[in-house]
Amino acid sequence: MFSKQFFLRFTLIFGLFFLLVGSAPAPAPDFDPARAKLLGYMIKEGLPRHHYSQKELNDEISVAAFDLYLEGLDYQKRFLLKADVKVLEAYRHQIDEELRSGKIRLPKVAETLVNERLKAAQVLVEKILNSEFDFTTQDQVETDPEKIDFAASDQELKERWRKTLHFQTLGYYLDLEDEEKANADNKENKIAPRTDLERQRLAREKVRKSLDSVFSRLLKNTQLDYFYSYLNAVSRAYDPHTTYMAPRAKEDFDISMRGSLEGIGATLIEENGYIKVIRVIPGSASARQGELEAEDLIIKVAQGRGETVDITDMRLRDAVDLIRGKKGTEVRLTVKKPDARIIVIPIIRDTVQIEDTFVKSTLLGTPQDKQRFGFIKIPSFYRDFTQAGSNGRNVTDDVQKEVEALKQQNIDGLIIDLRNDGGGALTDAVTIAGLFIPGGPIVQVRTSDGSIRTHKDESGTTLYDGPLVVLVNQFSASASEILAGALQDYGRAVIIGGQHTHGKGTVQAIIEFDRGLPFRNMESYKPLGALKVTIQKFYRVSGASTQYRGIVPDIILPDRLGHLKTGEQYIPYSLPWDTIDKVPFQKWTKQELPIERLRLESQLRVAGDEKFIQITTQAKRAKERSENSMRPLNLEKYRLLRAELQKNSDDDEEKMPEHAAVKSDDDQEWAQSIKTDPYVKEASSVLADILKPNGLTELNGLAKRGKMSK
């Protein structure tokens, strides 16, 4: 249908990459085989041509795409049977052939199978909910979809649904019980006492209503929706950041790029049927409330004290419509934490407090202290590209101002906090690194054709040359990792944090398929959507990639979220870690950092520090909770479990002072809360250790006597 010359012209037209902005979503066209063939051709030719890996569309990609597609069809394994999966598996090795031939069958087969099973499940659910559940049973239910297989028979699927509905009813039953207790003293809106049977009947009705909306949403999916998901699965098989965006997904892309700024202020994605938080926007209502965090799954939404809506299997744009709202109104999010706790988070919607999104600093210590250290928080690598020239506000200028202000106060050392900083403008990672070294290469960027560009600091000056510590965690990504990696390679700073940073070392570009179609008769196929594709990879000056492994800190501290499998190394089909040739650079010579001594001294302190002992205990408890995904169907046992989880959650929140730093709107309160953060306290101790002329002799003696913690 399309010649090589067509796609050559097509590719040349698409040589420029355009960033999508917040335009209204176009109406979705009906499914058209000819249009589907054109889109399939664009994906088939565009991915191998533009993707960093330059992988051919072959059986390996086909298998990966099939697995991703199947996961998206029924991640929770609530509808399809093993026999249905076997039917679909006939296409496991055929996706590449389908795209080449233009005869794409899998989406239609999937649509027919899933709709048939959805209708059967809908009838089954109604039948189960018409009967009472036995709350004295000793049965349990597995709540982690990854630990179960597809049901082998209708009977097995029926039993799975029975347990699932029983468990959901238990949850609503206890919610009603809590509601009655909370309103016991309310004379105006006092809830009349309910019997156990009345409470269970109401709970079952809530489950029915919630699932009715789920079935209704899923049955509205068209053949076109299944086809778009198919193209997206093929794209994600190249790497998790390469995606096909259907025409109506432009708004979703805006949400993922900038978050819901007028509302709760969180960056959300749709993943395996869940709405997942990947970032909380600094200065937002969510950040100030403090409980919503990256990796949380939002499973229900309520407007204030109104009825909750189950948003499982809901499209991102529809979920966001529920979450967004007028400033000053309340939204209540039912959230599943990574450690399996279910909590309700009330958030008063608001616009982002802009000042909280910018760099902040404070002085640690008093004039009476022998040593005083500066602290700078970099929430993101922001840069206002809407203003021409250098007029736009940017993170480099702000960091420079804060460093100069701290220097005026005669600081003895400096802490830069990159925790939860998801990155931003590459140019600022380079220029900020240049504030702390006299000049040189900062990062290498390699394209798919093997060409490498080195980004350098060419200022020839150093703004601050004193002791430097950088704080990171597993949510430090992209530009944060470039800055931390460069300062580590130069031997300029001690990097402190968890086991590793996120490991996002790739660059994406957007190809809009509607731009520059070569023939007029193709205009009728619009809108065609867009392809977000990985085109480049970051490498440190040492030659090691920041991709996959991230930055491994010099000093690793306990982390209550350390059990989370978050980061590129845990995402299927992420690009691997590798190396290229290092570039010549002059390491920092003013003061050689005694990393081994600093690490050992830190271990001694942390082993006896009460707050870090608490963090270690919390991390162990959270890991156990996340691994134990079985839940009792006995009312009394579940009531006790839920109370225990809530108590542990409350205890953990009280004992995590570093969270107070993001909850405060007042700069003085923020500065005070920083001083109670155990990670900042340990960073200060490391700075003090750097300044010590000799601390190794005593340390070696302790190690020899076996007093060092391993």
372-392 per-position pLDDT tens digit: 999 999 999 998 766 555 567
Neighbours of 308 (CB within 10 A): 19
Quick one: pLDDT band at residue 21, thresholds 50, 70, 90?
A: very low
Helices (H) and strands (E) in the chain, counts: 22, 19
Helices 106-129, 59-73: inter-axial angle, 10-degree rounding: 20
Q: Exposure string (b/e) for 672-709, b if CB count within 10 Å is 16 or more?
A: ebbbebbbbbbbbbbbbbbbeeebeeebeeeeeeeeee
The answer, yes or no, to whether residue 662 has pLDDT greater than 50, is no
Which of the residue ranges 205-214, 351-360, 579-588 would you say has the lowest mean pLDDT?
Answer: 351-360
Under DSSP, the state recorded for 568 is G
The answer, yes or no, to whether residue 350 has pLDDT greater than 60, is yes
Amino acid 18: pLDDT: 28
125-147 per-position pLDDT tens digit: 999 999 999 999 999 999 999 99
3-state DSSP assignment of residue 351: coil
57-83 per-position pLDDT tens digit: 999 999 999 999 999 999 999 999 999
Model-level pTM?
Answer: 0.88
Question: Between 2.40.50.140, 2.30.42.10, 3.30.1360.30, 3.90.45.10, what CATH number should domain 247-348 receive?
Answer: 2.30.42.10
User: What φ, ψ does residue 338 adopt, rounded to 5°?
Assistant: -60, -25
CA distance 699 to 707: 10
Average predicted confidence (pLDDT) for the chain: 87
Query: pLDDT higher for 591 or 545?
Result: 545
The answer, yes or no, to whether residue 100 has pLDDT greater than 80, is yes
Q: 579 forms bridges with which residues in the sheet?
A: 544
Question: Ranked by mean pLDDT, which of 367-371, 436-440, 559-563 comes out on top?
Answer: 436-440
Which of the residue ranges 8-12, 436-440, 605-609 would you say has the lowest mean pLDDT?
Answer: 8-12
Contact 647, 660 (CB under 8 A): no
Q: 140 forms bridges with which residues in the sheet?
A: 632
Long-range contacts of 591-597 (CB under 8 A, 24+ apart): 591/467, 591/690, 592/491, 593/491, 593/493, 593/494, 593/554, 593/690, 594/690, 594/696, 595/494, 595/554, 597/689, 597/695, 597/696, 597/699
From start to end of 256-372, where are the E strands?
266-271, 274-280, 297-303, 308-310, 330-336, 342-348, 360-364
3-state DSSP assignment of residue 383: strand
AA letter at 289:
Q
Which of the residue ranges 79-88, 330-339, 351-360 would you say has the lowest mean pLDDT?
Answer: 351-360
The answer, yes or no, to whether residue 19 has pLDDT greater than 50, is no
Amino acid 589: pLDDT: 92
Same fold, 247-348 and 358-608: no
Quick one: pLDDT band at residue 267, thresholds 50, 70, 90?
A: confident
Q: Domain segments of the chain: what residues?
A: 31-238, 247-348, 358-608
CA distance 112 to 108: 6
The structure tokens listed for 39 are 């889109």
Q: Which CATH architecture has domain 358-608?
A: Alpha-Beta Complex (3.90)
From residue 460, give the alpha-carbon distance in Å to each of 182, 401, 457, 490. Answer: 65, 18, 8, 15
